[in-house]
């Protein structure tokens, strides 16, 4: 019963911190103690002291109105990067006086429950004299609210503050009474606080301060050329960035060039400032600045796991007396290992699960698995041999059908619960089998401060700063802990946290409950994924049919184009042939006309009607019905008649000259004989007929 009560109080404390935003544990516990650990009474008492309205009851709280980012949820409380809240008239000292305790100063609360679900949380990063001040406000607040916060942080009176850098506000800055939603701002904004007339605390005067701030505003509009030398490969990159670019964004962009994560980048040449500072405010040289970067992993010596473990076993002989006594006394781990039939002589019980300062996650986890197996024997959970990012991808980022829960085991050798939990609960055969079937297990040792800091960096990267803060706040006696993480609507959520004080049945019940809820959720996601795959398959089929139709249309168009080309070629050839024939015909016609003209000149004159010599009257019937009449002397040779016919356009190679009776072709007769000899006297009708 006492354990259950403590667990409830832990949850109430977490919920109270999530709602009020108070970071200090003593402050939260003091408030809750005054209200008999009644969550809503404690929250309402704080809000009423600040002049705020009472919060609604538990049943009426709408989580969607709480301004929390979708990074992580633990035990129903959403975890996200902590916003800077609007300071209220009450301070930590006032609350301390109210509840009879001495509390540190801290930024308190403002409007965690908004009146309208339509309000949007806006994030501002305000740069002031080489300092970044984060501010998170709903868009229902005014510009003056930002200045109130900045006044409490910087000491600059709101009346002397001048905010620059507003999006789409290139003219006069907005009034203090202007609502943020009316400015149509993006979710994340960078502003610059100018304080003309307020001198620096150093020897610099107000005029130089104002000049520096004006210079920063001017530098924001300029582009900086960064000449970055990657020392590991002796490569130099010349990159241009706007003045509004932050140092962190530059490092992320460089990551894509040199393939060295930001956490492993070692830089030389940056001014002493944080990564959230813009290039304009970082005081780097303009227009170009030289930097050097190298890989942290290449800069330090590489040791194998065996070398690291051996170096740790060589403990200095000058340890204090208490350490010697501890080494002489049998530890809980030795007792449990001996109970399980495993000798501790094969590996020193003081060997850490992860060597101190081991930054390579694969090497660290190989050491964890090896030492864990040596300590607790078989069976034991099969821990994932890869970094946390890979474990998340394999467990939660795969298809819904193959998705599993992610179990993150956090260990601390100094906890009195560690050996009991590992040997009797975590290594129980039923737990091992159930974890192997339904979970991907990833583990880390928090005993060493360096390894603890490395884990906090990983948690911050993947789950957000609030999750990292929660892990950071774990006390040693609260460890070990087994975090069951699932993925809901593209965000990670800690379904449950199994404490090291839990018994075997409690752990199995928690795991089974998590798997049951996960399976129900997984069925819906599998159905959605199947529907999505079906839609995508239909789309692919439609695209394929469209491509086939398009290919058929293209084939038809190509065939038609080829036919048209053939037709055009044929027409061209026909036209060329016709032109040739026409040209040949014209040439022949011209030749015939020339012949006709020359023959006409050679013909004798037609005898007159009163000629005394015998005259033959010849009548020529043309093919088109015309009739040509001509007189010739009877003594005229036949070839003269034929030449006359040619002069009329009837060439003998095309026409026959026939007599009526008997039917004769004059072109076949002797042309030197006279007309009289051929009996074409005194008259005759001749017929011209095409051959």
Determine phi and psi for 73, rounding to 5 degrees: -125, 135
- Please indicate whether residue 92 or residue 439 has the higher confidence score (pLDDT): 439
* Residue range 2-66+82-99, CATH number: 1.10.8.10
335-525: CATH class: alpha beta
With a cut of 80, say whether residue 339 has pLDDT above it: no
- Local confidence band at 389 (pLDDT 50, 70, 90 cut-offs): confident
Q: Stretch 572-597: mean pLDDT, rounded?
A: 88
Averaged confidence pLDDT in the chain: 76
Residue 487: how many CB atoms within 10 A of its CB? 19
Architecture of the domain spanning 615-690: Roll (3.10)
Residues making up the chain, counted from first to last = 691
Q: Stretch 309-334: mean pLDDT, rounded?
A: 42
With a cut of 60, say whether residue 341 has pLDDT above it: no
Domains 223-299 and 615-690 share a fold: yes
Q: pLDDT tens-digit profile of 626-679? A: 999 999 999 999 999 998 998 888 888 889 999 988 889 988 999 899 988 988
246-250, 337-341, 588-592: least confidently modelled range = 337-341
What does the pLDDT read at residue 334? 42
**What sign results for the dihedral spanned by CA atoms 510, 516, 520, 525?**
positive
DSSP letter string over 10-68?
Answer: HHHHHHHHHHH----HHHHHHHHHHTTT-HHHHHHHHHHHTTPPPPPPGGG--GGGS--
Sequence spans of domains, the chain: 2-66+82-99, 121-220, 223-299, 335-525, 615-690
- List alpha helices for 121-197, DSSP H: 143-154
Q: pLDDT tens-digit profile of 196-222? A: 656 554 333 444 445 555 566 777 788
Report d(CA 122, CA 188) in Å as an integer.
6
Give the three-class secondary structure for 332.
helix
What does the pLDDT read at residue 214? 59
How many percent of the chain have pLDDT more than 90? 14
Structure tokens at 345: 């002589």
Tokens 């030795």: give the residue: 334
What does the pLDDT read at residue 101? 41
Q: pLDDT tens-digit profile of 38-58? A: 888 888 877 766 544 334 333
Report d(CA 422, CA 375) in Å as an integer.
9
With a cut of 80, say whether residue 189 has pLDDT above it: yes
List the one residue out of 505, 525, 529, 528 whose CA is nearest residue 517.
525
Taking the whole predicted model, whether its pTM rises above 0.85 is answered as no
Report d(CA 162, CA 176) in Å as an integer.
10
CATH topology of domain 223-299: Ubiquitin-like (UB roll) (3.10.20)
With a cut of 60, say whether residue 304 has pLDDT above it: no
What does the pLDDT read at residue 567? 92
Cβ atoms of 187 and 81 within 8 Å: the answer is no
Report d(CA 107, CA 45) in Å as an integer.
17
Each residue of 570-598: b (16+ CB within 10 Å) or e? eeeeeeeeeeeeeeeeeeeeeebeeebee
538 class by beta-carbon count within 10 Å (0-12 exposed, 13-18 middle, 19+ buried): exposed
Give the three-class secondary structure for 126.
strand
Structure tokens at 497: 């946290």
What does the pLDDT read at residue 199? 54
Report d(CA 674, CA 672) in Å as an integer.
6
Q: pLDDT tens-digit profile of 483-527? A: 988 887 777 878 888 888 888 888 888 899 888 888 888 788 888
Report d(CA 485, CA 493) in Å as an integer.
6
How many percent of the chain have pLDDT more than 70? 77
With a cut of 90, say whether residue 576 has pLDDT above it: yes
**What counts of helices (H) and strands (E) characterise the chain?**
19, 18
- Local confidence band at 555 (pLDDT 50, 70, 90 cut-offs): very high
Candidates 3.40.50.300, 3.30.1540.10, 3.30.56.10, 3.10.20.90; CATH matching 121-220: 3.10.20.90
């Amino acid at each position: 019963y006492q354990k259950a009560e403590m667990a409830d109080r832990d949850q109430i404390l977490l919920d109270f911190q999530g709602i009020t935003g108070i970071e200090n544990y003593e402050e939260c516990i003091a408030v809750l103690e005054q209200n008999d650990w009644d969550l809503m009474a404690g929250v309402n008492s704080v809000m009423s002291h600040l002049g705020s309205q009472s919060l609604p009851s538990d049943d009426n709280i709408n989580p969607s109105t709480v301004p929390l980012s979708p990074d992580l949820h633990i035990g129903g409380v959403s975890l996200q990067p902590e916003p800077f809240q609007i300071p209220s008239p009450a301070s930590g000292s006032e609350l301390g006086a109210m509840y009879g305790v001495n509390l540190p100063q801290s930024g308190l609360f403002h409007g965690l429950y908004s009146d309208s679900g339509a309000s949007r949380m806006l994030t501002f990063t305000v740069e002031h004299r080489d300092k970044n001040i984060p501010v998170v406000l709903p868009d229902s607040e005014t510009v003056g609210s930002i200045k109130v916060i900045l006044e409490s942080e910087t000491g600059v009176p709101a009346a002397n503050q001048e905010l620059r850098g507003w999006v789409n506000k290139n003219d006069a800055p907005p009034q203090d009474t202007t609502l943020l939603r009316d400015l149509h701002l993006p979710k994340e904004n960078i502003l610059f606080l100018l304080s003309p007339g307020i001198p620096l605390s150093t020897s610099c005067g107000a005029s130089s301060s104002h000049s520096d701030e004006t210079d920063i505003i001017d530098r924001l509009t300029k582009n900086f050329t960064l000449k970055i030398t990657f020392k590991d490969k002796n490569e130099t990159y010349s990159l241009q960035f706007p003045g509004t670019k932050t140092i962190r964004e530059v490092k992320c962009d460089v990551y894509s060039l040199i393939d060295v994560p930001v956490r492993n980048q070692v830089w030389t040449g940056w001014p002493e400032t944080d990564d959230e500072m813009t290039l304009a405010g970082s005081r780097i040289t303009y227009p170009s600045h030289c930097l050097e970067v190298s890989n942290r992993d290449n800069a330090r010596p590489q040791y194998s796991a065996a070398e690291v473990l051996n170096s740790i076993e060589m403990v200095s002989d000058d340890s204090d007396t208490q350490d010697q006594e501890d080494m002489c006394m049998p530890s809980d781990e030795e007792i449990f290992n001996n109970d399980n039939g495993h000798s501790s002589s094969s590996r020193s019980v003081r060997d850490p699960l992860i060597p101190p300062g081991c930054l390579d996650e694969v090497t660290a986890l190989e050491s964890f698995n090896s030492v864990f197996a040596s300590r607790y024997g078989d069976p034991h959970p099969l821990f994932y041999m890869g970094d946390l990012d890979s474990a998340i991808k394999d467990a939660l980022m795969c298809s819904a059908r193959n998705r599993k829960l992610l179990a993150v085991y956090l260990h601390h050798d100094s906890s009195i619960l560690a050996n009991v939990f590992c040997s009797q609960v975590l290594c129980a055969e039923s737990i091992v089998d159930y974890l192997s079937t339904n979970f991907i297990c990833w583990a880390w040792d928090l005993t060493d401060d360096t390894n603890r800091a490395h884990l906090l960096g990983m948690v911050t990267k993947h789950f957000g700063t609030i999750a990292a803060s929660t892990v950071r706040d774990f006390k040693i006696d609260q460890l070990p802990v087994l975090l069951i993480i699932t993925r809901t609507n593209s965000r990670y959520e800690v379904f449950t946290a199994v404490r090291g004080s839990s018994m075997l049945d409690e752990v199995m019940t928690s795991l089974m409950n998590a798997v049951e809820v996960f399976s129900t959720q997984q069925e819906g996601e599998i159905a959605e994924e199947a529907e999505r795959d079906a839609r995508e398959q239909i789309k692919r089929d439609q695209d394929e049919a469209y491509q086939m139709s398009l290919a058929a249309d293209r084939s038809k168009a190509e065939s038609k184009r080829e036919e048209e080309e053939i037709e055009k070629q044929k027409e061209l050839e026909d036209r060329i042939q016709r032109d040739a024939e026409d040209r040949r015909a014209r040439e022949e016609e011209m030749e015939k006309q020339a012949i006709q003209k020359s023959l006409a000149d050679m013909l004798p004159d037609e005898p007159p009607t009163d000629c005394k010599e015998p005259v033959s009257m010849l009548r020529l019937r043309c093919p088109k019905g015309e009739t040509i009449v001509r007189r010739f002397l009877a003594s005229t040779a036949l070839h003269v008649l034929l030449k006359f016919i040619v002069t009329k356009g009837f060439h003998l190679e095309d026409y026959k000259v026939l007599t009526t009776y008997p039917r004769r072709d004059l072109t076949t007769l002797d042309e030197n004989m006279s007309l009289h000899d051929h009996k074409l006297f005194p008259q005759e009708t001749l017929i011209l007929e095409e051959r």
